Amino acid sequence: MNILILGGTTESRRLASALDARGDVDVTLSLAGRTASPRAQGVSTRIGGFGGAEGLARFIADQNIGILIDATHPFANVISANAHRAAGETGVPFLALRRAPWQRAPGDRWVDAATVSDAVKALGPEPRHVFVALGRKDITPFESAPQHTYLVRSVDPIDPPLAVPNAVYVTERGPFTEAGDVALLKQHGIEILVSKNSGGDASYGKIAAARALGLPVIMIRRPELPGAPSVGTVDEALAWCDHALTVTAVRGV
């Protein structure tokens, strides 16, 4: 059985490794290629797009993929939509592994935003020291608010840098701790944070740090994703795969 996992998350890597360890399936983990130096995945890996839903459907047919799992980032809405459509066109069993979003806790000062552009507007006209914890492809809208001083943390270098007079860049890969992020925010005099509601533990340190320091967080909510069968944890995804493989074996496919 060939299993294709659309990945790029910690969960996708863990799921691929656990499935590969079974020994009775062939796992391919597909990465979009947005990170210049991705972590070693430990399983057969392909990098790059498919050419939309049609290209993914062709790949599924050409490679005899028996199960498709969307374990991409919760904000990868285009990829998720293409996966849902391709699964429908090919008829392969399909699952979305979507980790739960963060929930407000006592002491959180969250400001809701629908998009990055909305988050920039929510910063207001007065100059502020802003911690931006977004991917390098998401930060261009901040150029429309050059009055702020930005601290930008990303996995890959921001190249070209933002066209603003005051910005500091930290190139670092998580997981991040609350203590480490408290120290970082204090060091740079941060007054407000901008973050996507990505969920998970790896990048939660900044949210906990903001709470500890009493700082507001402009939280960008998740985009609408296709209503595919979904689970929230790797263990649940493994249980679903066990069932799918059993059903496939009984049917003799």
Query: pLDDT tens digits, residue range 80-128?
Result: 999 999 999 999 999 999 999 999 999 999 999 999 999 999 999 999 9
What mean pLDDT, rounded, does the chain reach? 92
Parse the chain into domains and list their residue ranges. 2-100+226-251, 109-220
**How many Å apart are CA 248 and CA 37, to the nearest integer?**
36
Buried/exposed code over 193-226 (b: 16+ C-beta within 10 A; e: otherwise): bbbbbbbbeebbbbbbbbbeeebbbbbbebeebb
What six digits make up the tokens of 231?
Answer: 């689970």
Read off the pLDDT of residues 138-188 as tens digits, 9 standing for 90 and up. 999 999 999 999 999 998 889 899 999 999 999 998 899 999 999 999 999
Residue position matching structure tokens 């070693």: 40
Residue position matching structure tokens 């991040």: 176
**How many Å apart are CA 247 and CA 253, to the nearest integer?**
9
The Cα-based distances of 155 to 37, 172, 227 in angstroms read 9, 5, 30
Closest C-alpha among 145, 8, 4, 154 to residue 74: 8
CATH 3.40.50.170 is right for the domain spanning 2-100+226-251: no
Q: How many helices (H) and strands (E) does the chain have?
A: 7, 12
**How many Å apart are CA 203 and CA 127, to the nearest integer?**
26
| CATH architecture of structural domain 109-220 | 3-Layer(aba) Sandwich (3.40)
**How many Å apart are CA 19 and CA 143, to the nearest integer?**
43
User: Among 33-37, 174-178, 179-183, 218-222, which is the least confidently predicted range?
Assistant: 33-37
2-100+226-251 and 109-220, same CATH topology? yes
According to DSSP, residue 223 is labeled P
Model pLDDT, residue 36: 56
Read off the pLDDT of residues 186-195 as tens digits, 9 standing for 90 and up. 999 999 999 9
Residue position matching structure tokens 């969920």: 199
What's the chain's Rg over C-alpha atoms? 20
